[in-house]
Amino acid sequence: MGYSSLAECIQDLERNQHLVRITREVDPYLEMAAIHLRVFKHGGPAVLFENVKGSPFPAVSNLFGTMDRCRFMFRDTLDKVKLLVNLKKDPLLAIKHPAKYLLAVKALPRSSGASAIANETVIDQLPQIQSWPNDGGAFILLPQVYTEDVDSPGVMHSNLGCYRIQMSGNEYVSNAELGLHYQIHRGIGVHQAKSDALGKPLKVSIFVGGPPAHTLASIMPLPEGLSELTFAGALNNRRFRYSRRDGYVISSEADFVLTGEVHPGETKPEGPFGDHLGYYSLQHNFPVMKVHKVYHRKDAIWPFTVVGRPPQEDTQFGSLIHEITGPVIPSEVPGLKEVNAVDAAGVHPLMLAIGSERYTPYSEDRRPQEILTIANHMLGFGQMSLAKYLFITENGDNPDLSVNNIEKYLRHVLERIDLTRDLHFHTNHTMDTLDYSGTGLNSGSKVVLASAGQKRRELAKELPANMSLPSEFTNPKTVLPGILAVNAPTYIDEKTTNFQLTGFGESASNLISEGFPLIVLCDNSDFLAESLNNFLWVTFTRSNPASDLHGVDSFTENKHWGCRGSMIIDARTKPHHAPLLELEPSVEKKVDGLGAAGQPLQGII
């Protein structure tokens, strides 16, 4: 089935026990987010907040909170959309099987004269949702930001992206300005650059709500040439309907549409914002949007989500994206078999891949060759280019290896990697906008860790009986086979770290032969060893390869860095890191009452 509105979807979810209503007044300042986080954590339903303090509009969250619910909403179209995406893999399929691929034509966006978006309001009447105590203000958390290419105007060359929008706070003029935050490698940046070059403002339409397929389309990293509007139509089994008003595109089935312009060179401080890496992204200058109009449909509903340390609701977006586009990726990057941007590590900080190694099949000396070519291709391809740590291996002697079994994958790599040869750095590089482990906004480094060939070492599961470390390095813990976490002194600076590691390296000189090729220096080794997710999150969000990857008996030869002993990742908290997200105790206590007897979320939170 295809939904013609968000309200229709909500009715469908409620009929099938996928949604609960909260009728009492709920505060958009922290309380709504706290409820959402609890419900998501317990695998609960979507939540309709009927009475939002300070706003005439109800709000809904956790629509995408479980994969079961996602598959329910797209139950009639998910498999068909996979076929549509496969056209990129083999365009001849449409000729060979025209009936099967007719969906591609039926999904084309459609101009519609009449629109249900007939009412107007102002920004401060929208639900002013603030998720974390130190956020800079209220944000739109599931926007569909629409822009067009000034060189090729029209919907088929448009970009629809999900970029956070700040509605209040900082220096924004109330009801007249919005903060438009977007990360590097996003399509809207190309559109703005072209408009700026002509000295013209960029027209922007922000759609909020509408059929859930429209929201997912704005998040999808689609293959080049496939329009987000076409994808939305295919996934909703209903063509994306739009009209034009005052020169702006209006989504006819959205709940809200905010229109305005971004003028060349005009920016204002945006943020802070509690983001999906589990830290605050800090305040920086980003484009400011001059508001033209705020439209809404009758009985409009405001959808939102909350991000924080993964997993959160956006984890389900990632799972859906992988399910839909995963089979296409190998056709885009020759030789690539599998890839996993690890959600528990914040997605871009850690990527795992399996590739082919066919360059010298006649050679007995199996070493990374083709997989290095594949790695370079990946680091220049779409969102994969934002990977910070890229592990890549070939699976010739382990055909059942999968990037989705992270523990077994890491074991395979650490058993085979040659640390004198197989680490390849990219320094002074671009990095994910939200990652503050590097040297500045969008700045840091990358490393490719490649492995091939036969197993070269056995990994240890227990600490060596004769292990002795300098007194300031304490509480060593085995995290996974071959991976050791050690409490290190509080980080001061690079010079102090190098001095400390001199003594540490002398004591740890035999750890690689004892089966520990990877040592992680941290603030709390018990926390790292507690779970795989804790290890992934701390290790890869709190380290910048060029400055925080060290080694026992390290060397530089012909500008290549390696180590003869164990590799050391310094994952301590550092002064330049962004602050950790923490819940507000008073709000948590208030939310506890919603789980009491007689409340709609009893047994859920």
Chain segment 454-473, per-residue pLDDT in tens: 999 999 999 988 888 999 99
pLDDT at 137: 98
Question: In angstroms, rounded to a whole number, what is the distance separating the alpha carbons of residues 348 and 385?
Answer: 9
Question: In angstroms, rounded to a whole number, what is the distance separating the alpha carbons of residues 351 and 600?
Answer: 40
Taking all residues of the chain, what is their mean pLDDT, rounded to a whole number?
91
Q: Which of 205-214, 234-243, 381-390 has the highest mean pLDDT?
A: 205-214
Element (H, E) at 7: helix 6-15
Peptide bond into 211 cis (omega under 30): no
Question: In angstroms, rounded to a whole number, what is the distance separating the alpha carbons of residues 212 and 216?
Answer: 6
More confident call, 602 vs 478: 478
Sheet holding 423-430, edge to edge: 336-341, 350-355, 389-393, 443-451, 423-430
Average pLDDT over residues 351-377: 90
Q: Taking 60 as the threshold, does the pLDDT of residue 97 lie above it?
A: no
User: What six digits make up the tokens of 248?
Assistant: 């702006």
Q: Residue 347: left if φ>0, alpha if ψ -120 to 50, beta else—which one?
A: left
Nearest to 47 by CA among 32, 27, 31, 57: 32
What residues have CB less than 8 Å from 402, skipping those under 6 apart? 338, 354, 408, 409
pLDDT at 98: 45
Per-residue pLDDT band for 185 (boundaries 50, 70, 90) equals: low
pLDDT at 554: 96
Average pLDDT over residues 280-286: 95
Chain mean position to CA 93: 31
Q: Taking 90 as the threshold, does the pLDDT of residue 46 lie above it?
A: yes
Chain mean position to CA 236: 23
Question: In this predicted model, what pLDDT tens digit does every residue of 123-173 receive, in sequence order?
Answer: 999 999 999 999 999 999 999 999 999 998 999 989 999 999 999 999 999
User: What six digits make up the tokens of 138?
Assistant: 């209220």
- Write out 340-389 in H/E/C secondary structure: EECHHHCCCCEEEEEECCCCCCCCCCCCCCHHHHHHHHHCCCHHHHHCCE
Residue 424: CB atoms within 10 A of its CB come to 17
pLDDT at 86: 66
Domain residue extents for the chain: 6-308, 328-451
Pick one of 3.30.9.10, 1.10.10.350, 1.10.10.10, 2.30.110.10 as the CATH number of 6-308. 2.30.110.10
533, 540 in Cβ contact below 8 A? no
pLDDT at 104: 55
pLDDT at 106: 67
* Backbone dihedral angles phi then psi of residue 313, each to the nearest 5 degrees: -55, -35
pLDDT at 83: 74
pLDDT exceeding 90 applies to what percent of the chain? 75
* Backbone dihedral angles phi then psi of residue 166, each to the nearest 5 degrees: -90, 125
The HSE-up count of residue 43 (CA atoms within 13 Å, CB side) is 2
Question: In angstroms, rounded to a whole number, what is the distance separating the alpha carbons of residues 578 and 461?
Answer: 33
Nearest to 391 by CA among 354, 426, 421, 337: 354
- What CATH code would you report for 328-451? 3.40.1670.10
425, 449 in Cβ contact below 8 A? no
Nearest to 180 by CA among 291, 314, 301: 291
- Full DSSP string of 116-181: S--EE--GGGS---B-STT-SS-EESSEEEEE-BTTB-SGGG-EEE---EE-SSTTPPTTTEEEE-
Q: Taking 50 as the threshold, does the pLDDT of residue 5 lie above it?
A: yes
Per-residue pLDDT band for 103 (boundaries 50, 70, 90) equals: low
pLDDT at 455: 94
Q: Taking 70 as the threshold, does the pLDDT of residue 99 lie above it?
A: no
With tokens 């109330």, the residue in question is 174
Per-residue pLDDT band for 383 (boundaries 50, 70, 90) equals: confident
183, 255 in Cβ contact below 8 A? no
Question: In this predicted model, what pLDDT tens digit does every residue of 501-510 receive, in sequence order?
Answer: 998 988 999 9
Q: Taking 80 as the threshold, does the pLDDT of residue 597 lie above it?
A: no
User: What six digits make up the tokens of 118?
Assistant: 């007939």
